[in-house]
C-alpha cells in the first residue's frame, strides 16, 4: 500500500462591503471594496507571479482597478449608463446597480447596490457671457444645480 495524499484547495471570492455606495451620474470617484480573494495565484505555488485577472463591473460597465490586495480593492467608478428608450442619456432619476467581481471562473455579486443619484449629479443650466475675446481673461458665470460642495475641484475647459 502506497499512501498518496490528495490536496484540495478552496479559494473564496467575496465582497463584504464597499464605499461609497451613493454617487453622481458622472462617476469618476474611487470605490473601495472590502472582502476576500481579490488576489490569487493561478498555480498556487508560494513563489508564483502569475495571477488570475480580477474584474469589477458596475451596471455591466468596467470599473478600472487602481489598487488591489487580498482583502481590499479600489477602482474608478464609470459614468452611469442611464439611457432613455430613445437612446439619449438621462440623469433625472436614480439608478441602482449591481457590483460584480470576477476572477477566472469565480464570480460574485455584492449584496449591496451602488446608486447613481440625480441629487448628487451636477447640472449646468446656463453660462454667461456666451462670447469672449480671443485674448482670454473673460470671467464666466456658470449656473446650475449641485455645483457647490463638489468633492474635488472643477475644471472648465473652453474648446478643449
pTM above 0.75, yes or no: no
- Alpha-carbon gap, residue 124 to 109, rounded angstroms: 35
Using one digit for the tens of pLDDT, what is the confidence trace for 73-130? 999 999 998 765 566 667 778 999 999 999 888 899 999 999 999 888 888 889 999 8
**Residue 123, Cβ neighbours under 10 Å: how many?**
14
Amino acid at each position: 500500500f502506497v499512501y498518496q495524499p490528495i490536496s484540495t484547495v478552496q479559494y473564496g471570492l467575496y465582497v463584504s462591503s464597499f464605499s461609497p455606495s451613493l454617487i453622481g451620474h458622472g462617476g469618476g470617484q474611487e470605490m473601495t471594496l472590502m472582502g476576500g480573494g481579490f488576489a490569487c495565484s493561478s498555480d498556487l505555488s508560494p513563489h508564483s507571479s502569475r495571477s488570475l485577472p480580477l474584474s469589477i463591473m458596475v451596471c455591466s460597465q468596467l470599473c478600472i482597478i487602481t489598487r488591489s490586495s487580498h482583502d481590499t480593492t479600489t477602482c474608478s467608478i464609470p459614468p452611469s449608463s442611464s439611457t432613455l428608450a430613445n437612446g439619449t442619456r438621462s440623469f433625472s432619476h436614480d439608478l441602482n446597480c449591481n457590483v460584480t467581481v470576477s476572477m477566472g471562473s469565480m464570480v460574485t455579486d455584492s449584496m449591496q447596490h451602488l446608486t447613481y443619484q440625480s441629487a448628487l449629479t451636477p447640472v449646468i443650466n446656463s453660462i454667461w457671457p456666451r462670447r469672449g475675446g480671443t485674448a482670454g481673461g473673460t470671467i464666466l458665470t456658470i449656473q446650475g444645480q449641485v455645483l457647490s460642495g463638489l468633492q474635488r475641484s472643477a475644471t472648465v475647459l473652453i474648446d478643449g
